[in-house]
Every structure is written in C-alpha cells, then in structure tokens.
Structure 1
Amino acid sequence: MEEAELIARLRAQDEVALTELVVSYGGFINQVILHNLPNDFRRDFTADIANRCFYQVWSHIGQYDADKGTFKNWLSAIVKHQTIDYQRGLKAMLQNTTLDHVVLSTPPITEELDYETIFASLSKTEREVFMLFYRDDLLPEEIGKKLRMKRWSVYKHLSRGRKKLQEEGVINDYFT
C-alpha cells in the first residue's frame, strides 16, 4: 500500500489501515522507542509505548502535513514524545511509590523443582552456574568466586543457558 493511500485511509478512520500501519511501521516504531529508552528495565515497556503511539497516530492523523515533512519523520516525532512522556510518568509513579505498605506475594511452590531435569540440556559449566544461581540463590559475584571465574563470565553462562532453555521451551516465569 502506498504511503499516501495509507494516510488517506487513516484519516477516514479505516481500521484496516490501522492494521497496515502496525504491519508497515511497527518495526520502525520499536526502533525509535528502543533508541530513546536508556536501559533494559524501561525497555520492558516498549509494547505499551508502541500502543500509545498507534493511538496518537489514529487520533491526530489530521495534523499531518506532507508539506512540512515526511510521514516517517512525523511518526518518529510522535514516537519520541510518547516515549519521553511515558518515562516521565513512570518516573513519577516510582518516586511516589513507597515500599512500606507493599506486600509482595509469590505463589507457593507446592513441590520441589527438579533442577537436574530442567537444566539437563545445559553444558556442565552452565548447569553448575544455574544451580548456584537459581537453586542456591547465590549472586553472580559469589558464583564467580566459588567456580573461580570472572563475574562477566557468570553472566555470559546465565545468558547462554537462558537462551538454550527458551529455545527448548523449558524456561518459564521462574527462570527469566
């Protein structure tokens, strides 16, 4: 679909055009969002920010003027400002949150996890690192001292192991 046709259909509030926008520009929007987010913690909010961006385009497509610039530039400005606004709101929310009255609940584990089976596909070193990290709750620094490896090496083994487990579909909420 041509860009001009997409814009005309968006202005007519055609919902199929909104789907086309998501398909055609979704990757670009995610790139702009990730470029404007400073750390991995905030990158967890990429989908929320993208949804806000699509809503803003849907709501304000009438303000787009091709004589002032390209659609992609207009879109990137919306994405950038939505990302900044989201970060400000997140910062304000976190500043106003006190942990004095927060109760964290975790689902009770009714049975002991079989770590040997879960980590069976990992290499010997990855399995040792995973056991110490997940079963024994040691920090990467402590694991590094115990296994005589650098802390970054512990992180590397955890990252590679998680990737293997994700590819096999073994990883779940306990191991993210």
Structure 2
Amino acid sequence: MEDKEIVAKMIAKDFQGLEGLIDSYGFAICQTIYRVLNHPVEASYRKEVENEVFYKIWSNSLQFDSTKASLKTWCLTITRHLAVDKKRQVIRQLREVPSEILPEALAWQEPLGKEDFLALVAILSPEDQLIFLKSFFFQDKPGEIAKDLGLDVAVVSNRLARGKQKLRNELLKEGRS
C-alpha cells in the first residue's frame, strides 16, 4: 500500500490504513523505540510506547503534510519524541539520582536533587539530552551510545563535551559553582 493510500484510509478512520502503516513502517518504529528505551529498566515500557505511537499517528493523521516530510520520517519523528518522553519519565520515577551523575568539574556545595538535575539537562537539545543521560545516568560508554543512536563515536564525544560546557555555564549563571 502506498503512503498516500495509507494516509487517506487513516484520515477516513479505516483500520486498513493503520494495518498498512504497521506493515510498511512497524519494524522501523519498533526499532526506534528499542534504540531509545534500550536499558533493562525501560524494557517494560516499550509496548506501551509502541501503542502510544500508533494511536498518536492514527489520531493525528490529518496533520500529516507530505510537502514537509515523508510518511516514514513523520512517523519516526513522533516515535522518537514519545520514546524520549517515556525515557525522561522513567528517569524521574527512579528514587534517586546516581551520586556521580555529573563530572567532578560540575560539583557544587549543595547536592542536586533529581528534579533539579532533570531541569538542568532540559536546556540541552532532545538528542543531546538523550546522549547525556545515557552517558551520565546509565553509565553507557560513548561507543555504546554511538552504536545505539547510529552516530559516530566522535560525534557523541563532541556532544558530551558541549553538553558539559552548557551545563557548567548554566550552573555558573545560577551561582551554583
């Protein structure tokens, strides 16, 4: 089934459109979810995110604009955003922030609470947030992060360095150095 036909059927609320979407892009959607929610603590949320993704695509099919992106790109963007949101939610649900979450250069006198940490990391771009959290929260190595996200190790290392600098600058601005 072609993308135009899939979208037309979903707009008409014909379940064949959803079936066509799943047949065409279901594997890529699931693969994206697994890349973002790749830790054992997050495994139980994968099916939930998958259902949320298909529901969101189904209910927002009128918003798809083929002049802005392909159907696959549009679906994978929705998928990535929902998966990253779930990852943030899982991190917030954890009872404590690991004690060595930030490098020593970012140490301060008062301990940083979980919500403060997540608010601080929120100044980064969504992809940099994911890289930063995978590195400092889940203790993934740059090579593992690069493999998970399909990036070069050098790109991951550069983004980590830039992220640390942004966080340092933000803490200095707030007077928490």
Q: Which has the larger radius of gyration?
A: 1
Normalising by structure 1, report the TM-score: 0.50
Normalising by structure 2, report the TM-score: 0.50
